[in-house]
Amino acid sequence: MFSKDSDVAVVLTSCGRFDLLAQTLNSFFEYNTHPIRQFILVEDSGDDAVRDSIPHEYRNQVDLIVNQPRVGQIASIDKAYQKVETDYIFHCEDDWLFYRPGFIEDSKAVLQAEPRALMVKLRSYHHDLMFYGARALFLGDRKTTGKVAYYRVDSTLPHSQCFSFNPGLRRRAQYPKGGYAALVAKRQSPADMETIASEHYAAQGCFAVLLENDAVKHTGFGKHVQNYDTRWKKYRNRLFRVMVAVAAFALGWWLGQ
């Protein structure tokens, strides 16, 4: 699992949801088949009990950072990324369940084939993203590199969702100078981090891709660590999509009369 010659580091952020974290770690170590050089876990709750969530056989190899006091997700990520020594970063959060091997190998193949791809998403589009994503997404043409099939991910919004803190491989070279905190400092609310970063990278011609062979599902529904603004924006976006669908159906019915 661990190799000093690997070009991949894992960064995982957590905040007090130790039951979910244990599932995430257990499934990652069970299904990951690519050697990694570093595994950096940042716990923002300040609770040292997080150590009990790490599988015993890997506790001495996981670089654990327990923030005291809490600093928030963005500062936690920047703190971890400053320790990364590899060309690739597999970013993850504490509420995901992996269920098939080879996801890092497949992701690396896609990044090597797509120089402007920012990250490789692992969620299922048809069974997950099209229902639960915070932004309306659609897939581009099917492409392949070797035996790996993938799609470019686009959005109906002005700035496509080319960035996410969901599980996915990305290049360290595309980590912004000054860190993600520097991007947030230019805007009003840190709750908009993924939107801010998407706009930043989209302006550079970057985009996200999605593996056809998905590898992870979200386990944290209803257990989010987030503020009121984030919850309201996600609810607003989903409500808007429902209203658009209802309006389109009503218009089609009326024109058919």
DSSP 82: T
Mean pLDDT of all residues in 60-67: 97
Residues 172-194: pLDDT tens digits? 999 998 999 998 887 655 457 88
* pLDDT above 50: residue 232: no
* C-alpha–C-alpha distance, residues 199 and 203, integer Å: 6
Angle formed at CA 160 by CA 123 and CA 102, multiple of 5 degrees: 25
* pLDDT above 80: residue 243: no
Query: How would you class 111 by CB atoms within 10 Å of its CB: exposed for 0-12, middle for 13-18, buried for 19 or more?
Result: buried
Whole-number pLDDT of residue 158: 61
* pLDDT above 70: residue 241: no
Whole-number pLDDT of residue 229: 43
* C-alpha–C-alpha distance, residues 254 and 257, integer Å: 5
Whole-number pLDDT of residue 227: 43
Of 14-28, 68-82, 197-211, 234-248, least confident by mean pLDDT is 234-248
CATH superfamily of 8-226: Spore Coat Polysaccharide Biosynthesis Protein SpsA; Chain A (3.90.550.10)
Q: Would you list the domain boundaries of the chain? A: 8-226
* pLDDT above 90: residue 48: yes
Residues 98-131: pLDDT tens digits? 999 999 999 999 999 999 999 999 999 988 887 7
* C-alpha–C-alpha distance, residues 16 and 4, integer Å: 30
